[in-house]
Structure 1
Amino acid sequence: MACRLADSSFLFMGPRQTPSRSHRFTPHNSTGICYLKWGSLLRRGFKHQQGLISTRRTKSVQAVATPVAPSSSESADYRKQLSESYGFRQIGEPLPENVTLKDIVNTLPKEVFDIDDVKAWKTVLVSASSYALGLFMISKAPWYLLPLAWAWTGTAVTGFFVIGHDCAHKSFTRNKLVEDIVGTLAFLPLIYPYEPWRFKHDRHHAKTNMLSEDTAWLPVCREEFDSSPVLRKALIYAYGPFRPWMSIAHWLKCHFNLKTFRPNQVKRVKISLACVFAFIAIGWPLIVYKTGIVGWIKFWLMPWLGYHFWMSTFTMVHHTAPHIPFKSSDEWNAAQAQLNGTVHCNYPNWIEILCHDINVHIPHHISTKIPSYNLRAAHQSLQENWGKYLNEATWNWRLMKTIMTVCHVYHKEQNYIAFDKLVPEESQPITFLKKVMPDYA
């Protein structure tokens, strides 16, 4: 959803990746290679969680000289234990390589692709009314209730982002001009330029979980991690305690530089940038004039930071886990990346309603033409036809703790190596998170 952390010239950005061969899951009916891979995953999962889940024991796996195919019950047991260790409800089986994205799309009911203008405008009504209610609560709340009002308002304004997100994918309404207008307006309170974001986001869907090509959360490259002590410290903070707000760095780095867009995109990018700067030039002074600097902080900045919390964490949860590999372009498989490499995560109902089911994310990666109001029906179909391959979770602290303390530096076999395993003497922020973050699932 956001531009990747990808350039060492920006201090808090993750490095550009060097394509290399990545760990590949093999189908569950393959030889003993799969057995050993799942065993290594299981041991790695417990190793990463040492000190966090003290009551869990590792199931030992003994290497053998001849290939031995694991039974389905053993594979299921490994995945179940990994799921518990990482905070998942289910870790899906590896998708066979002969399955294509088209095969999966063809199993979806045709009606999930239908655009319904009434449902589309209902999402606008929900977001506008919930945002207005949030502003009202901020204006009336005593100081000790302001955090709750900010949390509601930040979540409500995230709904505007989801509306613009549908418009960018041309799944909001049949009138494409209306989509561009609505998308631009929906992004304005977030000071997000619509067209630049759309161009970058399209790349995320085309290259999901591809090393150096995806525009979302990529693993840190070891070479750049070791290149500079200053950059290394910045990365430790960026992928650790600052991670829930790092979409702010994405926003700054990826959407305002005209040189990063193709010539045929620049005109539309300039229009979006002009709209954003006009909102800043007119909207911000009006807020300050009416409410003062403190009012600007209360009514705009704090809800905006709340939005970026969701922007960062939603994107992080959608594609980041110790068992989800990033692959080089020569190994990448679209069906595996979109079905196996995307996570469905249930949040509390009020968040799902205000954010228009954006976290029902697997069908969105199977086809971006599915409107947000049809994602649940599409996910139900995927569960019926491809359920054993899905990664599913209900939001919990262990899930967040796993991502923030384990999923750091890229490794072609292990997928990730945690910072504190590489440079324990410099990883105090990660050690701190391990101590203070809750670990219940």
Structure 2
Amino acid sequence: MQAEQSVSIVEIARDEPITLQQILRTIPRECYQRNYRKAFAWLVWDWLLIGLCVTAILWAQSWWIAVPISCVLGTVLSGLFILGHDAGHRSFCRSRRWNNFIGHITTSWVLWPFHIWRLSHNTHHRHTHHVHKEVAWKPAPGFIYKRLAWLDRMIYRYARTWLFYLGSIIFTATVVRDYVRGKGLSSQEHCEVLFSVLITALAGAVYASVSYLIAGWYGLLMLFVIPQFVFHFWLSLFTLLHHTTPDVTFMAPDVWTREKASLECSIHVIYPWWVDLLNHDISWHVPHHVCAAIPHYNLRLAYRHLKETYPDRIVERKLTFRYLVSVLRQCNLIEDFKPGMQEWKRFNENESSQPREVVRQ
């Protein structure tokens, strides 16, 4: 089975090259066009759903009834965050100021400073599936994993088990810490980051305080704590499965290209219809990596054209319990850094191997 997977990976890596412009031309021009009516209608839709969920939780005053509603609220907050994701890519509207405003009123409630998300997420898009430069769910080689401090090794391991939803919490905390320190940022970017942190801190304080003031510990848990964890569950699930599957892995610099990473390594995952509805089609992810300027409401049409033109290059999977288990069990580490496509390695396969010197290609 492993040999068959390796062959398919090599075949993808050696396929006839195409340019980004060729790929972009297969997508209809209308997919790149913003529709302000649709954009703001979805924004209003999310806020109405949030109001409905909050009202239902306060009306229920029952822990058993409120918990599922609280989970729905967390899912709606995930959708609201995705509108901020559009704003971060400047695809929500044309105005930079309006995009920044929309970004702050959509991402701050889930404690993600908008400009930190925008900058770090752009790094992910520039280096998708690059074995050295990727920032989202980048796998560690087995020998580096063995050399990690015990706490770092434990965090890495448990973020790739059924506790995978902790991955985005850890990533958020780490990225916010680094960006607040100004690592690799211009003075203007650092000012934007600090402004977003201030707005997020205020939003989080208001959100948590009001939740407690109107309904005590019941309100704090149902309106704030549970929705935050549910949001991170969705963020972790989406980002993990968008770029992790047993038969597609990360690329060394000698074979990495933006075209290959965007079209052949970004994964289209088929979710239930209600997940797509509440999360604004974020699972239609391949065209988003081909061109981040495509608004979320045009992703389906763009994907259909990409699939028709490049049926053998598109990676499509359906979310099932069995599929999620296969990802969590098989996609843990990679073999030592080497040219070409890397190979997945399980944690238990790494136990008996010996540590070695780091050799970067």
State the 1:165 CA deviation: 0.3
Cα deviation code 1:212-262 (max 9, x no counterpart): 211111112323311157243333222112212310001100024323241
For residue 232 of structure 1, what is the aligned residue in structure 2? 153
Moved more, 192-201 or 256-265: 256-265
Unaligned 5+ runs, structure 2: 353-361
Question: Superposition pairs for residues 395-434 of structure 1, below 5 Å?
Answer: 395-411=319-335, 412=338, 415-423=343-351
Structure (1 or 2) with the greater helix fraction: 2
Question: Superposition pairs for residues 22-421 of structure 1, below 5 Å?
Answer: 40-42=3-5, 96-141=15-60, 142-228=62-148, 230=150, 231-256=152-177, 257-264=180-187, 265-411=189-335, 412=338, 415-421=343-349
Cα deviation code 1:373-426 (max 9, x no counterpart): 0000101111111122111122111221111111011125662111122238xx
Could you say if the C-alpha distance between residues 373 and 331 of structure 1 is closer, same or farther in structure 2, counting changes exceeding 3 Å? same
Q: Is the 8 A contact 2:251 2:342 kept in 1?
A: no
Query: How many pairs were matched up?
Result: 342
Identity of aligned residues (%): 26
Q: Secondary structure at the match of 2:344?
A: strand
Q: Is the 8 A contact 1:162 1:355 kept in 2?
A: yes
Q: Is the 8 A contact 2:142 2:350 kept in 1?
A: no
Q: Is the 8 A contact 1:94 1:340 kept in 2?
A: no
Q: Is the 8 A contact 1:244 1:312 kept in 2?
A: yes
Moved more, 294-303 or 277-286: 277-286
- The whole-number CA distance in structure 2 between the counterparts of 1:41 and 1:269 is 46
Aligned residue type for 1:418: R
Work out which of the two has the higher radius of gyration on C-alpha atoms and give 1 or 2: 1
Aligned residue type for 1:415: E
- The whole-number CA distance in structure 1 between the counterparts of 2:12 and 2:71 is 36
Could you say if the C-alpha distance between residues 233 and 276 of structure 1 is closer, same or farther in structure 2, counting changes exceeding 3 Å? closer
- The whole-number CA distance in structure 2 between the counterparts of 1:39 and 1:297 is 45
Moved more, 312-321 or 147-156: 147-156
Could you say if the C-alpha distance between residues 225 and 124 of structure 1 is closer, same or farther in structure 2, counting changes exceeding 3 Å? same
- The whole-number CA distance in structure 2 between the counterparts of 1:135 and 1:261 is 40
For residue 356 of structure 2, what is the aligned residue in structure 1? none
For residue 49 of structure 1, what is the aligned residue in structure 2? none
Question: What TM-score, normalized by structure 1, do the two folds share?
Answer: 0.73
Could you say if the C-alpha distance between residues 40 and 332 of structure 1 is closer, same or farther in structure 2, counting changes exceeding 3 Å? same
| Runs of 4 or more consecutive aligned structure 1 residues displaced over 6 Å after TM superposition | none
Aligned residue type for 2:351: V
- The whole-number CA distance in structure 1 between the counterparts of 2:75 and 2:18 is 37
- The whole-number CA distance in structure 1 between the counterparts of 2:115 and 2:329 is 34
